Structure 1
Amino acid sequence: MSSEKEYSAEQLEAGRLLFARHWDFITSVKEMHQLPDLGGVEIAFAGRSNVGKSSLINKLTERKALARTSNTPGRTQMLNFFGAEHTQLRIVDMPGYGYAEAPKGMVDAWTTLIFKYLRGRSTLRRVFSLIDARHGIKKNDLDAMGILDKAAVPYQVVLTKADKLKPGQLERVKEDALKILAKRPAAHPEVLATSSEKGTGMDELRAEIALLVSYG
């Protein structure tokens, strides 16, 4: 496994062009029958409730309020779909997990919805599993990865808030993550490090997503 991947100038430009489009909210889903029709390519973002998922989606698309950000973790309680004109890509913001104050019945409903979505969505190319670089992979992250492994959905770890660590610390977090991912059947063998605040790693993440779109 590797923590680094080199992208060509053409791949980086493809990523830039893909996300230079105007991205908009499509729909929110809390029951399977509400899902948009299959078609195109979907990617999804998953992570703990306070991992910075909404901030990353906003930075990725350069839309300040595309995905809701809140000081209250766990606000995203549905599958939120985003899209742009002239691209087959759709972005899915998945409910945050690990929000201790959410009622158990609500958490169970989220889990059921997510698993059904993962198992039944043939257009879903990859889930980006967001991990706070300051904390590394925790038990609830492993539990979520277990669901992805069981659903046989490819996923890739993306470290958030990487600017909060010194370079040496960040490399150790990457190495620790790669050791864990080496044992997971559906894990992608590379880790990306990002910062929504500084923009670090966003060009690479856009390029990676553009590659998934080009593969169809």
Structure 2
Amino acid sequence: MNRTIELVKTIYEIKQLEDFSEAQIALAGRSNVGKSSLVNRLAGQKKLAKISSKPGKTRSLNYYKVNPDGYFLVDLPGYGYAKCSKTERAKWAKLIEAYMRDNPQLKAVAVLLDSRLSPQKLDLELTSYLRSLGIPVIPVLTKADKPKQRELAKLQSQWQEILQQDRAPVLFSSKTGKGEEKLWNLLCEFAQL
């Protein structure tokens, strides 16, 4: 299928949040886990989502419309590393919470996890929080072209156990395209729930 992704809306404050009738899949993860690279890979463009050598560049909720499927990918600010004030971080947290709390269109959150790292405290907290809200988690191990296959399999198994899921996390590489089709299929499947 020939899909396109376009940036439709950027939201910086809670008062800008609006109700969309279309299904939404949020993209969440640590700063520098590769969310922008993933969006660009899926879009088949290099500059749709801004990539920076400084982690924490995304400071807003970015709504990307997926056509012809008709749902949104919503890129959330990264967590854990961004060099900004505590006030700004608290503002992002409130914005993200307001977005997630009463949003019937939010069908799942694709949680991006760095395949070079063992499960990190902040990732565990996020996945636990999402599960407490009853929001399905789609685990995606990014940068999957870097580690050895054995290490990837071990990490997949760890996350599968932590999340108590039937499926192993998707192995994804923005660089090589590994896992791209599998991820598209999962995103579409959840968007139709």
Instruction: Give the TM-score normalised by structure 2.
Output: 0.93
Q: Which runs of 5+ in 1 are unaligned?
A: 1-16
Q: Distance in 1 between matches of 2:68 and 2:34?
A: 28
- Report runs of 4+ in structure 1 exceeding 3 Å deviation: 84-87, 187-190
Q: Say if 1:115 and 1:147, in contact at 8 Å, map to a contact too.
A: no
Q: Which residue of 1 aligns with 2:188?
A: 210
Q: Say if 1:136 and 1:177, in contact at 8 Å, map to a contact too.
A: no
Q: Which residue of 2 aligns with 1:10?
A: none
Q: CA deviation at 1:131?
A: 0.3
Does residue 45 of structure 2 align to residue 63 of structure 1? yes
Going from structure 1 to structure 2, the CA distance change for 1:154 and 1:188 (only over 3 Å counts) comes to farther
Q: Quick check: which one's helix share is greater?
A: 1
Q: CA deviation at 1:103?
A: 1.0
Number of residue equivalences = 193
Q: Distance in 2 between matches of 1:147 and 1:92?
A: 18
Q: Distance in 1 between matches of 2:94 and 2:131?
A: 15
Going from structure 1 to structure 2, the CA distance change for 1:85 and 1:197 (only over 3 Å counts) comes to closer
Q: Which residue of 1 aligns with 2:176?
A: 198
**SS state of the match for residue 171, structure 1?**
helix
Does residue 19 of structure 2 align to residue 22 of structure 1? no
Q: Distance in 2 between matches of 1:29 and 1:145?
A: 23
Q: Distance in 1 between matches of 2:80 and 2:184?
A: 27
Counterpart selection for 1:164 from 119, 143, 146: 146
Equivalences for residues 121-136 of structure 1 within 5 A: 121-136=103-118
Q: CA deviation at 1:34?
A: 1.4
Q: Which residue of 2 aligns with 1:111?
A: 93
Among all aligned residue pairs of Structure 1 and Structure 2, give the percentage whose two residues are the same amino acid. Answer: 36
Q: Which residue of 1 aligns with 2:57?
A: 75
Taking only aligned residues, the RMSD between alpha carbons, in angstroms, comes to 1.7
Q: Say if 2:4 and 2:68, in contact at 8 Å, map to a contact too.
A: no
Q: Which runs of 5+ in 2 are unaligned?
A: none
For residues 19-43 of structure 1, what are the alpha-carbon distances to aligned partners after superposition, in whole Å with 9 as ceiling and x for unaligned? x233211111122331243212111
Q: Residue type of the partner of 2:179? A: G
